[in-house]
Amino acid sequence: MAWTNEDVSRQLAEIAALLRLRGEDPFKVRAYERAAGVIAATPVDLAELSPEEIARLKGIGRSSARRIDEYRRTGRIDMLERLRADVPAGVAELARVPGLGPKTARLLHAELGLSGLDDLRAALEQGRLRGLAGLGEKTEQNLRRALERMGAKDDDRVPAADALPVAEELCARLAALPAAGRVAYAGSLRRLRETVGDIDLLVASDQPAPVMAALRDDSLTVRVLAAGEKKTSVLTVRGLQADLRVVEPAAWGAALVYFTGSKAHNVRVRERAVRRGLTLNEYGLFDRVTGGRVAGRTEEEVYAALGMAFVPAPMREDAGEVQAAADGVLPDVVTAADVLGDLHGHTDWSGDGKASMQDMLGAARRRGDRYWAVTDHAENLVMNGLSRERMVAQRGAIERLRGGLSGLTVLHGAELNIGADGELDYDREFLLGFDFCVASVHTLMHRPREEQTRRIVAAMEHPAVNVIGHPVGRIIGRRPGYDIDVEVIVEAAARTGTALEVNASPRRLDLSGRMVRRAVEAGATVAISCDAHSLGDLGNRVYGVATAQRGWARAADVLNCRDVDGLRDFVAAKR
């Protein structure tokens, strides 16, 4: 039976959702939600913990511990089974409609016998909602539109990579307004979750009205969903909702904390504020007695006034960061400034590279990189790979370029292909002639877990392999990736002195933040790599850094935060 943190977390979250639909005590609902969050965020595999250790996790009380233990022993939770039997599936489906909550879903089921979206659609057509208490014409209209929107999309979340360009464009347009001060996108996009449900925009300004109007009238806006004095919501192109808040500059930091979330992080921080006689909202941190504003202008100021270390946005997931920041033990995570170079990049020597070696290296140097590894595809990748002869020729070409690239050390490497049993391109002697090698899976992506894990571990055993590229092979929103045993992979990485890549492409983010956290806890090293195929890809590093931050990685955990000598030591240690 599957027995992972994710499984258990899903069970608890479903209990919470069903309790909410039943209209139970909201605090009980929240308790189960929190328990689900705690389990999901626990970096240690639940299967390795005793029931006593699980019960000691903060947020897991007697009830949740009992349910978890029941699930471990029997594979089911009686309470959940009973809730499922008790709450009609149709009610849960109705509550998925935006704007339609538990109360209305229950009402529609009880009064009209509606069960699911098709029923709701039919009832709207027949005008059967008329006369129900609290449901007027506008509500009907809103429900119709919500149903239309749901029908047009199969999922209400989109890959962050799809939302980033829209968010950045909207920020640029708002920033150009005379009334606008600072402008930022916040929410799950700023935390760089893999997928996002909407775009949260924040503007500092003393004149909210023209800023709100600009978003309503923007060419990217399809429809206005809500428009108040302090908040505007619109539907943008691509079906993405954008929420805009405008606050006075003195509240910028508090608003950014509030709007960045996560919700669970905010609740945790606000509870801390209350215990200290303060109250935190989007307008600032206030003294509960005098009402005076204690902090609010910057995020740093808000956290400091709460006696906490600053928490980088990607870490704000209520995964233990609030307590750690309060106790002064929050790890000093890697920042973009710590990263000194890139260890995985392509040029037009490979079939899929879009820019010349000279252009790529020149751009890297201008960005301030101290080193850059040219790692074009190796020969076994038939479409794009370089033969042994071409590799030798490329090495010569790098020699000739070196004079014009003062300050940038160029490493000659390759992106090797991991074969069915972990075998690699070329031969051992030739491989050891490279400065640095990445090895990645490009074929046979559907092998069973054990086999897939074994071949990657076999590649890690090779003395010439320094990094495993995109270890999971997923494309967010498109394909799930290879089935691997993450625990075995991170252990092998630590043991063999092989780094695991954090591929910075927002379409990949691979390793994920969660896996990064497991890797660094196991003592493995990670490498933040752009895997650039074009000049534009060089700008992706920030997303790799954010993902490493989500995984609580310090600069010391990141291979390309070392200087060239440190890098060469890492390579030499394996040979």
Partner DNA sequence: GCCGTTTTCGGCCCGACTGTTTTCAGTCG
Residues 6+ apart with CB under 8 A from 454: 421, 422
d(CA 491, CA 488): 5
Is 325 among the residues that bind DNA (CB under 7 A)?
no
Binds DNA (CB under 7 A): choice among 8, 31, 251, 571: 31
Binds DNA (CB under 7 A): choice among 10, 22, 30, 354: 30
Which own/partner pairs from 180-185 qualify as long-range (CB within 8 Å, at least 24 positions apart)?
A: 180/204, 180/205, 180/211, 181/205, 181/249, 181/252, 182/249, 182/252, 184/256
Binds DNA (CB under 7 A): choice among 191, 270, 442, 517: 270
Structure tokens at 388: 């042994």
SS3 assignment, position 284: strand
Binds DNA (CB under 7 A): choice among 49, 65, 112, 405: 65
Q: Which is nearer to DNA, 230 or 449 (CB)?
A: 230
Pairing of strands 241-247, 278-281: unpaired
Is 49 among the residues that bind DNA (CB under 7 A)?
no
Q: Which is nearer to DNA, 32 or 570 (CB)?
A: 32
Q: Which is nearer to DNA, 272 or 550 (CB)?
A: 272
Query: CB of 113: closest distance to DNA in angstroms?
Result: 17
Is 323 among the residues that bind DNA (CB under 7 A)?
no
Q: Which is nearer to DNA, 20 or 462 (CB)?
A: 20
Q: Which is nearer to DNA, 53 or 461 (CB)?
A: 53
Check if the beta carbon of residue 372 is closer than 8 Å to that of residue 411: yes
Q: Which is nearer to DNA, 284 or 312 (CB)?
A: 284
Is 105 among the residues that bind DNA (CB under 7 A)?
yes
Angle at CA 293, nearest 5°, toward 292 and 299?
Answer: 165
In what side-by-side order are the strands of the sheet with 341-345? 341-345, 371-377, 409-417, 436-440, 467-468, 499-503, 526-529
Binds DNA (CB under 7 A): choice among 14, 121, 142, 326: 142
Virtual torsion, Cα 187, 188, 190, 195, nearest 10 deg: -140
Is 98 among the residues that bind DNA (CB under 7 A)?
yes
Is 136 among the residues that bind DNA (CB under 7 A)?
yes
Q: Which of residues 516-545 bind DNA (CB under 7 A)?
A: none
Distances (CA, A) of 145 to 98, 104, 124, 238, 478: 10, 17, 11, 16, 27
Stretch that binds DNA, among 52-60, 358-366, 503-511, 557-565 (CB under 7 A): 52-60
Q: Is the dihedral of CA 470, 473, 476, 480 positive or negative?
A: negative
Stretch that binds DNA, among 59-67, 158-166, 382-390, 443-451 (CB under 7 A): 59-67
d(CA 550, CA 544): 10
Q: Which is nearer to DNA, 286 or 349 (CB)?
A: 286
Cis peptide leading into 21, omega within 30 of 0? no
Query: CB of 522: closest distance to DNA in angstroms?
Result: 27
Check if the beta carbon of residue 93 is closer than 8 Å to that of residue 116: yes
Quick note: the x/- pattern for DNA over 154-173, rule CB under 7 A, is --------------------
Check if the beta carbon of residue 472 is closer than 8 Å to that of residue 512: yes
d(CA 21, CA 26): 10
Pairing of strands 241-247, 198-204: parallel
Q: Which is nearer to DNA, 251 or 339 (CB)?
A: 251
Stretch that binds DNA, among 100-108, 367-375, 455-463, 485-493 (CB under 7 A): 100-108
Stretch that binds DNA, among 101-109, 171-179, 378-386, 392-400 (CB under 7 A): 101-109
Q: Which is nearer to DNA, 167 or 438 (CB)?
A: 167
Query: CB of 554: closest distance to DNA in angstroms?
Result: 27
Interface size with DNA, residues (CB under 7 A)? 62
What count of other Cβ atoms lies within 10 Å of the Cβ of residue 569?
11
Is 185 among the residues that bind DNA (CB under 7 A)?
no
Q: Which is nearer to DNA, 226 or 444 (CB)?
A: 226
Binds DNA (CB under 7 A): choice among 9, 205, 221, 266: 266
Q: Which is nearer to DNA, 187 or 469 (CB)?
A: 187
Distances (CA, A) of 445 to 352, 453, 481, 484, 502: 20, 11, 7, 10, 19
Check if the beta carbon of residue 313 is closer than 8 Å to that of residue 191: yes
Is 550 among the residues that bind DNA (CB under 7 A)?
no
Query: CB of 319: closest distance to DNA in angstroms?
Result: 15
Check if the beta carbon of residue 90 is closer than 8 Å to that of residue 114: yes
d(CA 104, CA 213): 32
Binds DNA (CB under 7 A): choice among 39, 77, 100, 486: 100
Query: CB of 283: closest distance to DNA in angstroms?
Result: 7
Q: Which is nearer to DNA, 58 or 446 (CB)?
A: 58
d(CA 59, CA 213): 43
Q: Which of residues 194-233 bind DNA (CB under 7 A)?
A: 197-198, 200, 226-232
Select from 345, 338, 352, 405 the least CA-distant residue to 373: 345
Q: Which is nearer to DNA, 246 or 467 (CB)?
A: 246
**Residues near DNA (CB under 7 A):** 25, 27-28, 30-32, 34-35, 58-65, 97-105, 133-142, 187, 197-198, 200, 226-232, 241, 243, 261, 263, 266-267, 270-271, 273-275, 279-283
